[in-house]
Amino acid sequence: MEETHEHLGARAAQLISAGSFFYHRGWMPATAGGLSARLDDHRMVITESGRNKGELGHDGLMMVDLDGNVLSPGKQPSAETFLHIILYRRSPRIGAVMHTHSVSATVLSRIVEGAELTLTDCEVLRTLPGIACRDASITLPIFGNDQDIPQLAAQVDDHMNRHPDTPGYLIEGHGFYTWGRDAAEARHHVEAFEFLFDCELQLRRLKP
Ligand SMILES: [Zn+2]
């Protein structure tokens, strides 16, 4: 039990730190977005619904099992918790999931024609493990902002069955999801992709 508490505490500290960093970069405004980390084969720790990620404490996190059952009494899970769960169910190699609502990701997801965004010159991604940046470009799918979360989750799952290397995805007019083997890797992926989103948006402004 003590080991579980230590494990939970370490994961929670990583999510609190990432939340503060993302909030102060403007990638999780107000109470938007969600962060989670796997605890074991059956459970994860995730930010509670309605929490400001810049002021997150241990009381802003909760445990949920991978069937969606709340394990922290009195806590309210976000409607998007299921989007985290389906990723953990897919692969034991996914140890953390991070969801941001940055301006660049939100705007790009609205102005791109078609259902995917291709980012080029992804030098920043080459330094990171877990991302295959082939032929100097990387493509992210864009899903419609479906309020029916199980339906949206099924679309993500279906896409990943066909493209298992997918490193993240955008939701139109909403935000970005990415993941990693652990919280540190997922945080690096957020930072790298947000840099690429900023570059892409600025390029489109300068060279419409
Ligand atoms: Zn969201």
**What is the whole-number distance in angstroms between the Cα of residue 32 and the centre of ligand 1?**
6
Measure 33 CA to ligand 1 centroid, in angstroms. 5
Contact 188, 168 (CB under 8 A): no
What residue numbers bound the domain in which 143 lies? 2-206
Cα–Cα distance for residue pair 52/135, rounded to 1 Å = 39
- Residue 121: give its domain's CATH number: 3.40.225.10
Q: How far is the CA of 135 from the centre of ligand 1 (A)?
A: 31
Provide the residue-wise pLDDT of the chain in tens; the chain has 208 residues. 455 677 889 999 999 999 999 999 999 999 889 999 999 999 999 999 999 999 999 999 999 999 999 999 999 999 999 999 999 999 999 999 999 999 999 999 999 988 999 988 767 777 666 666 666 778 899 999 988 999 999 999 999 999 998 999 999 999 999 999 999 999 999 999 999 999 999 999 998 6
What is the CA(134)–ligand 1 centre distance, in A? Answer: 28
Domain count, the chain: 1
93 CA → ligand 1 middle, Å: 23
Ligand 1 center from residue 36 Cα (angstroms) = 13
The full DSSP string for 10-61 is HHHHHHHHHHHHHHHTTSS-TT--EEEEE-SSSEEEEEPTT--GGG--GGGE
Q: How far is the CA of 177 from the centre of ligand 1 (A)?
A: 9
Tokens coding 83: 């989007």
Q: Please list the residues that pair with 140 across neighbouring strands.
A: 117
Cβ pair 23, 16 in contact under 8 A: no
